[in-house]
């Protein structure tokens, strides 16, 4: 998404950072033998003021020797809106300005208070001759102090990302097959599906889900099947894509024993699995899977590759 305007030599690894309600989540990954390894993962309580957030972040960066490390800041979904739309037929250099006027009537705050970025969808999406994009719209009143907190803490801001791109990075780390993977993040009361093929985000969709998130709570299988079918129908009919051969679940106490036979039969021939973040980035059991799942967004941000879109 929004990349820094400068480039410099940086210490090893990448940090992922997210300011959530009452929390500051931070991760740092380095690469060893071309494999990502999680060095830091923490979720800390903090007051919802920018002074408190900036102070805590600065303290942690100093304590953990992260000064100068490249940082990918991840926006929580409540701080942005994501719209898929047909791109206006304008030169590429004018696209962002043209998109501004298309989203004007879709947001409930003044356009001058918005920060807008555009992510093109792959060329094989949609009807012939149709160019689709995602427009990301965030409020400047959140972006500006968040950037200031990152810079004041002596981190190097590489990008400002969204949850969907963090999920994409996790999906890529899991090495999906040529038909891609549907990564389904399930938390208390909600689900979000990110459909990734090759290195591209094709489709993102959020939905309500009656799931309590407890260790012994079953997944609402019928509702989950319906939402996944709706997503795949749109993916196939509107975007012209073949449904993925892999569905990977993760989230609050989402374990392999919760993938029922009913769920498997609804998507015959599709491989179901549960994403183990520990296996991807922390195989030495340094971190409990529960904290890794809680910090999935910042871990995904710390996995971003420099040539990623």
Over residues 121-161, the pLDDT tens digits come to 998 887 777 899 999 999 999 999 999 999 999 999 999 99
**What is the CATH T-level fold of the domain 2-76+142-164, as seen in this structure?**
Nucleotidyltransferase; domain 5 (3.30.420)
- Residue 1: pLDDT above 60? no
What average pLDDT does range 165-190 have in this prediction? 91
What average pLDDT does range 239-255 have in this prediction? 94
Every domain of the chain and the residues it spans: 2-76+142-164, 77-140, 175-274
- Residue 8: pLDDT above 90? no
What average pLDDT does range 196-208 have in this prediction? 94
Amino acid 7: pLDDT: 46
Q: Hunting for tokens 């803490």 — which residue is that? A: 153
Tell me the pLDDT band of 309, cut-offs 50, 70 and 90: very low
- Residue 285: pLDDT above 90? no
Amino acid 2: pLDDT: 52
Amino acid 35: pLDDT: 87
Amino acid 34: pLDDT: 80
Amino acid 32: pLDDT: 84
- For residues 9 and 58, give the distance between their C-alpha atoms in angstroms, rounded to a whole number: 21
- For residues 118 and 113, give the distance between their C-alpha atoms in angstroms, rounded to a whole number: 17
Query: For the domain 77-140, what is the CATH code?
Result: 3.30.1490.300
In the chain, pLDDT over 90 holds for what percent of residues? Answer: 82
Q: What is the mean pLDDT of the chain?
A: 92
In the beta sheet, which residues pair with residue 114?
A: 139
Instruction: Count the Cβ atoms, other than its own, within 10 Å of residue 282.
Output: 22
What average pLDDT does range 35-62 have in this prediction? 97
Q: Hunting for tokens 């409540």 — which residue is that? A: 78
Assess whether the region 2-76+142-164 and the region 175-274 belong to the same CATH fold.
yes
Q: Give me the architecture of the 175-274 domain, per CATH.
A: 2-Layer Sandwich (3.30)
- For residues 281 and 284, give the distance between their C-alpha atoms in angstroms, rounded to a whole number: 9
- For residues 131 and 86, give the distance between their C-alpha atoms in angstroms, rounded to a whole number: 6
Amino acid 92: pLDDT: 87
Over residues 64-122, the pLDDT tens digits come to 999 999 999 999 999 999 999 999 999 988 999 999 999 998 998 999 999 999 999 99
Tell me the residue length of the chain. Answer: 309
Amino acid 127: pLDDT: 76
């Amino acid at each position: 998404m929004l990349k820094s305007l400068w480039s410099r030599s940086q210490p090893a690894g990448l940090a992922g950072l997210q300011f959530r309600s009452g929390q500051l989540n931070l991760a740092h990954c380095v690469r060893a033998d071309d494999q990502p390894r999680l060095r830091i993962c923490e979720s800390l309580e903090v007051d919802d003021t920018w002074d408190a957030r900036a102070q805590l972040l600065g303290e942690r960066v100093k304590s953990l020797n992260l000064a100068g490390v490249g940082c990918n800041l991840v926006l929580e979904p409540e701080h942005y809106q994501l719209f898929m739309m047909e791109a206006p037929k304008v030169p590429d250099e004018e696209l962002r300005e043209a998109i501004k006027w298309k989203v004007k009537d879709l947001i409930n705050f003044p356009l001058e208070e918005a920060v807008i970025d555009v992510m093109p969808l792959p060329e094989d999406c949609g009807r012939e001759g149709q160019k689709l994009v995602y427009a990301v719209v965030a409020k400047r009143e959140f972006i500006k102090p968040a950037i200031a907190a990152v810079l004041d803490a002596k981190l190097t801001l590489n990008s400002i990302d969204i949850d969907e791109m963090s999920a994409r990075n996790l999906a890529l780390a899991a090495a999906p097959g040529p038909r891609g993977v549907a990564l389904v993040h399930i938390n208390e009361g909600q689900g979000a599906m990110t459909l990734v093929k090759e290195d591209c985000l094709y489709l993102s969709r959020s939905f309500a889900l009656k799931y309590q998130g407890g260790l012994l709570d079953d997944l609402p299988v019928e509702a989950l099947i319906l939402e996944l079918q709706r997503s795949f129908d749109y993916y196939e009919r509107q975007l012209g894509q073949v449904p993925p051969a892999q569905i990977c679940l993760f989230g609050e106490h989402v374990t392999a024993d919760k993938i029922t036979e009913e769920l498997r039969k609804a998507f015959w021939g599709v491989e179901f699995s549960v994403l183990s973040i520990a296996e991807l980035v922390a195989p030495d059991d340094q971190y409990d899977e529960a904290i890794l799942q809680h910090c999935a967004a910042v871990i995904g941000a710390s996995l971003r590759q420099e040539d990623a879109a």
